[in-house]
């Protein structure tokens, strides 16, 4: 019998979200154990009688390749880098709303572009993406950015925001959006509305609650000049659990594919959780 993320969460983990494993929730840890082979013993609170048999079951499913995460980010990054290699940086900059950058010195040939990204800017060359201090971005961030550069269209955001499931071909990713983005956010900020508000402001979000009056919080993030995400939050009350939903400008798939939209959403979730950890 194999152990899915839900099996692990329900049958093996203590479900206390104590964070001692380094993850904000037990479900986030379970996801990493099942898909990334993280050792189960990294949770120090599992009943010793359950630990060894569960790890044995996991080892068997790893050997079969069951539920292991394919290296989607790596494959997408290589393809997008290959495609952008043949494009002029000036054209990419114009298309995605970035500024062309030139090196110091007499030769003023454009060798990078400068792209606003949340509340910072990133510098992008054909082979590298760095923050304004020269630090490398994570691989998932680079993947999103190169896909945006390679496939981003010319349309501008309309301001009409839609939920993930309203976009075509998202069925296979809805569970990932729930388990990897919405559930960790919900668990991290349930009864912590003020902390979420601080996190949203630190991450460059704009308060748009006036557009969503029945909610406890609504913040919009201008991730890139042409990509907007809105976070909606209902705090727990009177027996109802907290809830989180992300909305995307209806043009988002003109600029990113579904996988990159999911990577970006995961990144936003991590930024928010880590900014007040
Ligand atoms: S260590 Fe991690 S997996 Fe274990 S109970 Fe705490 S949060 Fe859950």
How many folded domains does the chain comprise? 3
Q: Is residue 156 part of a domain?
A: no
Pair 222, 121: CB distance under 8 Å: no
- The answer to whether the predicted template modeling score (pTM) of the entire model surpasses 0.95 is no
Atom of ligand 1 nearest to the CA of 46: 4
Residue 174 Cβ contacting ligand 1 at under 6 Å: no
Residue 29 Cβ contacting ligand 1 at under 6 Å: yes
80 and 38 share a domain? no
Atom of ligand 1 nearest to the CA of 25: 7
105 and 167 share a domain? no
78 and 180 share a domain? no
37 and 18 share a domain? yes
Q: Is residue 57 part of a domain?
A: yes
- Rounded to whole angstroms, the Cα distance separating 263 from 69 reads 13
Taking the chain (277 residues) in consecutive chunks of 10 residues, what is each chunk's mean pLDDT? 84 91 81 86 95 95 78 71 86 91 65 90 87 85 90 91 90 86 94 96 96 93 96 92 96 90 92 86
Listed in sequence order, the residues at least 6 apart from 101 whose beta carbon sits closer than 8 Å to its beta carbon are: 110, 111, 112, 113, 114, 123
193 and 265 share a domain? yes
109 and 207 share a domain? no
Domain CATH code at residue 271: 3.30.310
Residue 117 Cβ contacting ligand 1 at under 6 Å: no
Q: Is residue 268 part of a domain?
A: yes
113 and 165 share a domain? no
189 and 250 share a domain? yes
Asked which of 133, 151, 169 is the last residue of a domain, the reply is 151
Q: Is residue 256 part of a domain?
A: yes
120 and 203 share a domain? no
Q: Measured at the alpha carbon of residue 70, what is the angle toward residues 14 and 138, in degrees to the nearest 5?
A: 80
- Rounded to whole angstroms, the Cα distance separating 184 from 247 reads 17
Residue 41 Cβ contacting ligand 1 at under 6 Å: no
Looking at residue 137, its pLDDT comes to 86
- Rounded to whole angstroms, the Cα distance separating 191 from 241 reads 9
Length of the chain: 277
How many A from CA of 124 to the centre of ligand 1?
A: 38
Which mutation among 28, 29, 39, 55 tests ligand 1's pocket best, with the greatest number of atoms within 8 A of CB?
29
Which mutation among 18, 48, 277 tests ligand 1's pocket best, with the greatest number of atoms within 8 A of CB?
18
23 and 57 share a domain? yes
Closest residue by Cα to atom 6, ligand 1, is: 18
Looking at residue 70, its pLDDT comes to 61
Closest residue by Cα to atom 4, ligand 1, is: 43
- Rounded to whole angstroms, the Cα distance separating 12 from 7 reads 7
How many A from CA of 18 to the centre of ligand 1?
A: 5
Domain ranges, residue 121: 72-151
Listed in sequence order, the residues at least 6 apart from 181 whose beta carbon sits closer than 8 Å to its beta carbon are: 244, 246, 262, 265, 266, 268, 269
166 and 271 share a domain? yes
Domain CATH code at residue 12: 1.10.15.40
Q: Is residue 180 part of a domain?
A: yes
Atom of ligand 1 nearest to the CA of 29: 3
Looking at residue 259, its pLDDT comes to 84
100 and 185 share a domain? no
Looking at residue 32, its pLDDT comes to 83
> What six digits make up the tokens of 9?
């969460």
């Amino acid at each position: 019998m194999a152990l899915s993320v839900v099996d692990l969460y329900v049958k093996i983990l203590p479900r206390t979200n104590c964070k001692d494993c380094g993850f904000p929730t037990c479900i986030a840890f379970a996801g990493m154990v099942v898909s990334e082979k993280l050792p189960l013993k990294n949770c120090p609170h599992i009943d010793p009688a359950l630990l060894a048999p569960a790890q044995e079951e996991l080892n068997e499913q790893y050997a079969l390749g069951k539920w292991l995460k394919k290296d989607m980010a790596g494959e997408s990054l290589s393809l997008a880098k290959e495609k952008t290699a043949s494009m002029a940086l000036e054209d990419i900059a114009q298309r995605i709303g970035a500024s062309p950058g030139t090196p110091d010195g007499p030769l003023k040939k454009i060798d990078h572009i400068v792209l606003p990204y949340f509340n910072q800017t990133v510098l992008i060359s054909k082979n590298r993406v760095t923050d304004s201090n020269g630090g490398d971005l994570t691989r998932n961030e680079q993947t999103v950015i190169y896909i945006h550069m390679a496939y981003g269209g010319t349309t501008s955001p309309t301001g009409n925001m839609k939920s993930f499931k309203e976009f075509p071909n998202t069925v296979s990713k809805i569970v990932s959006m729930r388990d990897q983005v919405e559930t960790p956010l919900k668990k991290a900020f349930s009864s912590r509305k003020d902390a979420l508000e601080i996190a949203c402001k630190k991450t460059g979000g704009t308060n748009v609650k006036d557009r969503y009056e029945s909610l406890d919080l609504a913040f919009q993030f201008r991730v890139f000049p042409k990509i907007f995400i809105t976070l909606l939050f209902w705090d727990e009350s009177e027996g109802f659990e907290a809830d989180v939903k992300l909305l995307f400008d209806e043009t988002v798939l003109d600029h990113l594919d579904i996988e990159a939209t999911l990577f970006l959403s995961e990144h936003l979730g991590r930024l928010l959780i880590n900014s007040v950890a």
